[in-house]
Amino acid sequence: MNYKIRFHIDAKKELDDLDGSVRLIVLRQIKKLETKPLLGEALGNIGGLDLTGFRKMYADRKKIRIVYRIFEEEVEVFIIAINKREKSKVYEIATKRKKLE
């Protein structure tokens, strides 16, 4: 069964803002989620940020983090944030965006 990939509008902008070669690497990782949505690692409480129900995966030699959620009922993977792996920046972004879901 293939999952539909959907992006938060700002996550799509983050993807579009990446350098061309890095964008391709990230897209290859995201493409894997169509058939293996559980590929990423489950998140929980990270530094006081509650991301329970979300997962993360890395791209570009762990320089980029992709944070997403699986919606089984809709057979969908929702990408909420894509950002550089510096401190907890991507998790802070994802936490803010999840409140707007």
Q: Which pLDDT score is estimated for 88?
A: 82
Name the token pair of 28. 């290859």
- The mean pLDDT value for 34-45 works out to 96
Statement: residue 100 has pLDDT above 70: no
> How confident is the model over 60-95, as pLDDT tens digits?
999 999 999 999 999 999 999 999 888 788 999 999
Please tell me the distance from the alpha carbon of residue 17 to that of residue 49, in angstroms, as a whole number. Answer: 25
| Arithmetic mean of pLDDT over the chain | 93
Number of domains in the chain: 1
Model confidence over 49-63: pLDDT tens digits? 999 999 999 999 999
Query: What local confidence, expressed as pLDDT, does residue 47 receive?
Result: 85
Contact 66, 83 (CB under 8 A): no
CATH code of residue 74: 3.30.2310.20
Q: List the domain range (segments joined by +) for residue 66.
A: 4-98
65-88 burial code (b ≥16 CB/10 A, e <16): bbbbbbeeeeeebbbbbbbebeee
Average pLDDT estimate for 15-42 = 96
For residue 12, the SS3 value is helix
